């Protein structure tokens, strides 16, 4: 998946085509981190609806990761919508994360986020509420996001960042 090259004496890493669903999610996270919320929104929606890329966790340890990755992607798409100023789309995506992926960690985070913003709280307060619920399952969360050394580390406090 990763191609490495030297450019002007600097080490540069290029991303190839995604081979697992987590790679598509990583690509969306990179767009989000760069502040390209519109492209990130599209990439998250694509990841949430992707049924063809393999599920790395299912192949490696037999534990399905697809529902969690898809609920994460839907949640993050909602965050991108809020950053773009589209609160209606944000709410729609939060509801989708809750209803489409019940029982996933990110659907629980979406629920607390939605309750907070619906109650008049800021997106910052909503993020805190989502992080709080995930922090109650911190070790499970970190274990889920263990996709090997070549993938970014995540913890409950990277969810909204």
Structure tokens at 97: 């994360």
Q: What is the pTM of this model?
A: 0.89
Contact by Cβ (8 Å): 97, 106: yes
Q: pLDDT tens for residues 77-94? A: 999 999 999 999 999 999
Which residue numbers in the chain have pLDDT < 50? 1-14
pLDDT of residue 151: 86
pLDDT of residue 1: 40
Question: Would you call 131 helix, strand, or coil by DSSP?
Answer: helix
Contact by Cβ (8 Å): 117, 126: yes
pLDDT of residue 48: 98
Q: What one-character DSSP code corresponds to residue 158?
A: G
């Amino acid at each position: 998946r990763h191609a490495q090259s030297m450019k002007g004496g600097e080490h540069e890493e290029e991303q190839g085509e995604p081979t697992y669903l987590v790679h598509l999610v990583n690509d969306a996270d990179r767009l989000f981190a760069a502040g390209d919320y519109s492209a990130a929104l599209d990439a998250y929606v694509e990841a949430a609806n992707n049924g063809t890329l393999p599920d790395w966790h299912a192949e490696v340890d037999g534990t399905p990761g697809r529902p969690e990755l898809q609920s994460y992607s839907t949640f993050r798409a909602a965050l991108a919508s809020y950053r773009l100023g589209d609160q209606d789309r944000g709410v729609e995506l939060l509801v989708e994360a809750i209803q489409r992926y019940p029982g996933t960690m990110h659907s629980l985070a979406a629920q607390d986020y939605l309750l907070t913003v619906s109650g008049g709280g800021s997106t910052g307060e909503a993020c805190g509420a989502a992080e709080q619920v995930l922090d109650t399952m911190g070790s499970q969360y970190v274990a889920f996001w263990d996709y090997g050394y070549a993938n970014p580390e995540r913890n409950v406090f990277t969810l909204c960042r």
